[in-house]
Amino acid sequence: MKILVTGANGFVGKNLIAELKNKGYNDVFPYTKESDPSLLEVYTKECDFVFHLAGVNRPKEESEFMEGNFGFTSQLLGLLKKHRNIAPVLITSSIQAEIDNPYGRSKKAGEDLLFNHYYETDAKVYVYRLPNLFGKWSKPNYNTVVATFCNNIAREIDVQINNPDADLNLCYIDDVLEEFIKALEGRPTVQDDFCVVPVTHNIKLGDLADLIKSFKESRTNLSLPNMEDALTKKLYSTYLSFLPEDQFSYDLTMNSDHRGSFTEFLRTPERGQVSVNVSKPGITKGNHWHHTKNEKFLVVSGEGLIRFRKIDSDEFIEYKVNGESLRVVDIPTGYTHSIVNVGENDLVTVMWANECFDPEKPDTYFVEV
């Protein structure tokens, strides 16, 4: 299948072309405002499907709205008619098409052209009135507040919030792409003559800023965002795509002494915390038990011996572990336990606890195994 994508260098276009290739659609005709105009003649003759993503939303002159959103659409459809090509056409419009302003009127005019194209040629048409989009490769300080907030907060630049209670209706680029692929395959989601992206998210402007600020703070407080919340998960992925390229990494605090070190890696209020424990040869750590706190130990380097004893018993239980054969050991409640480095090199253990450490309620009682 030969697929024409106008606006190929834009936010949606870049993401779409990448996903088309992921799905095995390799015969793509990318068309941009920098392309040789003669290519459009060739592409409209040969294409089997059209993603018409090109448009104008930040012109220097108001007249450019109609020229870009109506004029180019008219040219595109005229060439398809000229070549008697009834390939389906998908156009990205805007929820502002319902608003009487220069941009909205130009988008509505483009929609009307497409519907007339359907009436005249019987070609399938798909009109998507998209809300505020966000995701990787979007442009800050342009037309998406999410990109601006992510970019600025990642760089410690103040963000301006005039009305924190303003409601936003957001749509994630991957959800848009999923719907576009469905349309390409002839099964779009249709509502009231328009195609829609079923998954959208609502959030207040102030809450959006606070959430994105929490992503930056997570590098110091080590708290993972709530990935069960779909919007949070998508916003966090977007935020990471805006990190300065020299700031992908960050340091952790290593609590070190003669025995080795203990370093907290991640924590969540509902999933506990993950830490990395390093023990020097011959060192024993632990010798304590818990009422409710439970853990999982995974030795990833070195050789260790994990020992258990139920606190009201004299019977010992031992598990030999090493980094050559990854094996998780559960640490049950009511058993005092220890881990001993029995090798010649550092013993490195990844430890998960079902709750984050609370110095006011440590639930840790020291008893020799």
Residue 179, CB-side half-sphere exposure with 13 Å CA sphere = 25
Residue that has been written with the tokens 């991957």 in this structure: 174
151 token code pair: 């970019």
Give the list of residues 6+ apart from residue 71 with CB closer than 8 angstroms, or none: none
Distance CA 157, CA 79 (A): 46
Q: Which residues lie across from 339 on neighbouring strands? A: 285, 306
Alpha helix segments (H runs only) across 186-243: 205-221, 230-241
Check residue 171 and give left, alpha or beta (phi > 0: left; psi -120 to 50: alpha).
Answer: beta
The yes-or-no answer on residue 365 being catalytic is no
Distance CA 123, CA 117 (A): 7
CB 252 within 8 A of CB 258: no
Q: Which of 31, 43, 103, 335 is catalytic?
A: 103
CB 17 within 8 A of CB 8: yes
Helix (H, G, I), strand (E, B) or coil at 217: helix
Sign of CA dihedral 7, 196, 212, 224: negative
* φ, ψ (nearest 5 deg) of residue 254: -95, 120
* φ, ψ (nearest 5 deg) of residue 54: -65, 145
| Number of other residues whose CB lies within 10 A of the CB of residue 312 | 6
Alpha helix segments (H runs only) across the chain: 11-22, 37-46, 63-66, 72-82, 102-121, 145-154, 173-184, 205-221, 230-241
Instruction: Output the CA–CA distances (angstroms, integers) from residue 352 to 107, 215, 294, 334, in the order listed.
Output: 53, 22, 8, 17
Residue that has been written with the tokens 């994990």 in this structure: 306
- Give burial (CB, 10 Å; 0-12/13-18/19+) of 354: middle
Torsion of Cα atoms, 102 then 7 then 235 then 245, to 10°:
-120
Catalytic residues: 103
